[in-house]
Amino acid sequence: MPYFPFKQFVTVMVLAASVGCGAALAQTSPYSGVGATPAPEDLGALAWTAGPSGKELPPGKGTAKQGALIYMVKCAMCHGRDAEGVRWAPGAFSVISGPRLGGGNGVPLFRRPAGRITTMAYTAPFTAAIFNTIAVEMPLFRAGTLTSDEVYNLTAYMLFKNGLVKEDEVMDRDTLPKVQMPNRNAFPATDEIYMDMQKRGCIQTFGMCRDR
């Protein structure tokens, strides 16, 4: 019984797909002058996202003491009253769950020692990463509705619950980037280092080193 070799079948299919894509691209007309650059007010909380330097952070300020009140109203349902996290279990009253945010005591490792608690504050390479996450993704079902002051307050609260700042320490666009994060050295400092394994030394791609 005649048959069509599998290798030839794959070759034909790849060729057909390539030709089809090429034809589609050839028929696509280029467009210019379409749309407009979004203004900060169009981006909402996305306009606040900042890098390690924090220079893109918005005006505002907050403390962990103020953040605790906001946390109880807008965050505790998913992350626990004391930032211990909420796990869903069969028969639980609510299906909502969220990771632990407080009480961290160590950075992530390939082989986690017994008793090590790794929270976002012990994983993030810089404080603005926490600010960005809260501003853009929280709270659940109402993402992007927090004011900049609320985000600063909640960021300060998370840092405080992990022993990284004091309860009354003011966090703003100047002080927040200066907080030294425990896992800062596990991430490549520049793109040049990231692309060069010799300069990287340990495996830093995912923020976890073998030698720590």
Structural domain spans, the chain = 44-87+95-185
d(CA 8, CA 167): 68
- Please report the pLDDT score of residue 155 as a whole number: 98
d(CA 206, CA 194): 11
- Please report the pLDDT score of residue 180 as a whole number: 95
- Please report the pLDDT score of residue 212 as a whole number: 43
Reported pTM: 0.73
Query: Tens place of pLDDT for every residue, the chain, 212 residues?
Result: 555 455 555 454 555 555 455 555 555 556 677 777 777 666 767 767 788 888 899 999 999 999 999 999 999 999 999 999 998 877 666 678 899 999 999 998 878 889 999 999 999 989 999 999 999 999 999 999 999 999 999 999 999 999 999 999 999 999 999 999 999 887 766 656 655 666 665 554 455 554 44
- Please report the pLDDT score of residue 195 as a whole number: 59
- Please report the pLDDT score of residue 5 as a whole number: 57
For residue 188, say if its preceding peptide bond is cis, omega within 30 degrees of 0: no
Q: Quick one: tokens of 211?
A: 């030698």
Topology annotation, domain 44-87+95-185: Cytochrome Bc1 Complex; Chain D, domain 2 (1.10.760)
User: How big is the chain, counted in residues?
Assistant: 212
Q: Quick one: tokens of 14?
A: 């790849």
Contact 143, 192 (CB under 8 A): no
- Please report the pLDDT score of residue 17 as a whole number: 54
Q: Is 85 helix (H, G, I), strand (E, B) or coil?
A: coil
